[in-house]
């Protein structure tokens, strides 16, 4: 009985360590994918990236939310206007160097929209701030792309608002498609912000 207990204790500890290692993964490399229920969790465990279905149907959206917080509070959505219609959705660094959301048939639902590059030195990382960044491992001075410069409906700490950034509401509480209201720094004047209704 003692032997069985020791084995079970060791196995349980191994599972716990494996789970903690899995949750610590915050980086994706070329050739790796996020699909199904797989997620990336930021260092410190505050933010999580993965696919979700706000209407509990088959449609899949890639998003970032507060890890472990219930109900789920989403702070960024990649493909809000173009949901993947089934569970074959995946997120990866494509062969052209862009971040993409695609399905098993190769149809693209979202892309970071960068110039084509054959670099295999890129990684994408969920930062402790909630920022999703695409990095070139050989050039660490600037991020190639970051979600903080392409927000959806949420302004997070450490984000910088400028005249090129616009926040747009969800269409409904369970539909992250672009809604009626937007928030942006005024194009004229000093440090003025405006909210407007731009859709009927």
In a domain, 159, yes or no: no
Each residue of 35-89: pLDDT tens digit? Answer: 999 999 999 999 999 999 999 899 999 999 999 999 999 999 999 999 999 999 9
| Per-residue pLDDT at 167 exceeds 60 | yes
Give CA angle at 36 (159, 101), nearest 5°.
50
DSSP one-letter string for 6-63: HHHHHHHHHHHHHHHHHHT--EE-TT-EEETT--EE-TTS-EEEEEE-TTSSS-BEEE
- Domain extent for 27: 2-147
Matching residue, tokens 């050989």: 138
Each residue of 137-166: pLDDT tens digit? Answer: 866 667 899 999 999 999 999 999 888 899
pLDDT, position 12: 41
Bond from prior residue into 9 cis (ω within 30 degrees of 0): no
pLDDT, position 139: 67
The count of domains in the chain is: 1
In a domain, 7, yes or no: yes
| Per-residue pLDDT at 91 exceeds 60 | yes
In a domain, 11, yes or no: yes
In a domain, 24, yes or no: yes
* Residue of 116 and 67 predicted with greater confidence: 67
Each residue of 190-200: pLDDT tens digit? Answer: 667 777 676 54
pTM of the predicted protein model: 0.84
In a domain, 102, yes or no: yes
| Per-residue pLDDT at 107 exceeds 60 | yes
Rounded Cα–Cα distance for residues 113 and 136 (Å)? 16
Mean pLDDT score of the chain: 86
pLDDT, position 11: 41
CATH number, domain containing residue 80: 2.90.10.10
Helix (H, G, I), strand (E, B) or coil at 148: helix
In a domain, 200, yes or no: no
Could you count the other beta carbons within 10 Å of the beta carbon of residue 175?
A: 15
In a domain, 152, yes or no: no
In a domain, 14, yes or no: yes
The residues pairing with 196 across neighbouring beta strands, listed in sequence order, are 182
């Amino acid at each position: 009985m003692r032997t069985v207990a020791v084995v079970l204790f060791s196995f349980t500890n191994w599972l716990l360590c494996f789970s903690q290692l899995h949750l610590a993964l915050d980086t994706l490399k070329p050739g790796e994918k996020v699909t199904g229920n797989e997620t990336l969790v930021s260092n410190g465990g505050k933010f999580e990236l993965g696919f979700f279905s706000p209407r509990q149907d088959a449609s899949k959206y890639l998003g970032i939310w507060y890890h472990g917080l219930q109900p789920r509070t989403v702070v960024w959505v990649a493909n809000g206007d173009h949901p993947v219609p089934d569970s074959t959705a995946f997120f990866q660094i494509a062969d052209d160097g862009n971040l993409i959301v695609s399905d098993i048939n190769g149809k693209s639902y979202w892309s970071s929209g960068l110039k084509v590059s054959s670099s295999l030195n890129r990684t994408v990382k969920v930062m402790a701030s909630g920022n999703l960044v695409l990095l070139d491992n050989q050039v660490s001075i600037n991020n190639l792309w970051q979600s903080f410069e392409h927000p959806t409906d949420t302004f997070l700490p450490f984000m910088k608002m400028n005249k090129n950034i616009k926040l747009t509401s969800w269409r409904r509480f369970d539909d992250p498609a672009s809604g009626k209201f937007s928030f942006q720094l005024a194009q004229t004047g000093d440090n003025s912000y405006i909210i407007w209704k731009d859709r009927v």
